[in-house]
Amino acid sequence: MNPFLLTTAYFPPIAYFSCLKKAEVTYIEQYENFGKQSYRNRCEIMTANGVIALTVPVAKANSKTLIKDLKIVYPTPWQKLHFRGIESAYKNSPYYEYYIDDLMPFFEKQETYLFDHNLAILTTILDFLKLKRDIRLTTDYIAIGDINYRDLRNAIHPKASHRQPGCDYIPKPYRQTFSDRFPFTPNLSILDLLFCCGPEAGEMI
């Protein structure tokens, strides 16, 4: 099996972890240019008002700025706002208290680079899911169409119109927060699955 190739992502969607689970080796692209309105700096959660996106503000990038060099900016207390949004959405979910203490550093420490922030999150989430995976970082940009990789960089995207084939994730319905108000919504941030399903989350992806 060829290695999988993924972008970095902020509290990635469930499909992202489904791909990681299937791969023997996964590379995270760190030499690409930043793609706006993607999961690289945003995640989606279910709230009392429906699905909302939590976005990490980043420094203005030019055409030569690599994702590994993209800096997070702190013009507003966005970490506090993200935490409040997550707390409001999930504080009554079955496993919120089970995980939240280990997640708090991501809403307190002011990391310089988005890539480093996301990588630390990924490591923690994989530990929660008990998924031991061989994850590596690219050492140069991998060209689109490289037959040595299963390229999923554009297969997992918030907008359906931007998605390309490659990710064969099939959602498994579970009881979500506010299920009395909204139908099941697939492929939210992995946080949704963790807070709702706890230790069983690893079997749900």
Q: Is the pLDDT of residue 12 over 90?
A: yes
Question: Taking each helix axis from N to C terminus, what angle separates 190-197 and 78-90, rounded to the nearest 10 degrees?
Answer: 40
Structure tokens at 18: 């489904």
Distance CA 29, CA 7 (A): 5
**Phi, psi dihedral angles at 204 (to 5 degrees):** -95, -10
Contact assessment for residue 31 and residue 138, using Cβ atoms and an 8 Å cutoff: yes
Q: Report the C-alpha gap between 4 and 49 in whole angstroms.
A: 35
Q: Is 162 a residue whose pLDDT tops 60? A: no
Note the helical H segments in the chain. Answer: 14-22, 78-90, 96-103, 114-129, 190-197, 201-204
Query: At residue 191, does pLDDT exceed 80?
Result: yes
Question: pLDDT grade, residue 168 (50/70/90)?
Answer: confident
Domain extents in the chain: 4-204
pLDDT tens-place string over residues 113-122: 999 999 999 9
Can you give the pLDDT at residue 158?
A: 83
Q: Are 29 and 8 in contact (CB under 8 A)?
A: yes
pTM over 0.75: yes
For residue 192, give both structure tokens.
């949704």
At 24, the pLDDT band (50, 70, 90 cuts) reads very high
Q: How confident is the model at residue 41 (pLDDT cuts 50, 70, 90)?
A: very high
Of 9, 10, 17, 11, which Cα lies nearest the Cα of 167? Answer: 17
Q: Dihedral sign, CA of 26, 127, 120, 161?
A: positive
pLDDT of residue 161: 47
Q: Is 60 exceeded by the pLDDT of residue 165?
A: no
Percent of the chain with pLDDT over 70: 96
How far is Cα 122 from Cα 119, in angstroms, rounded to an integer?
Answer: 5
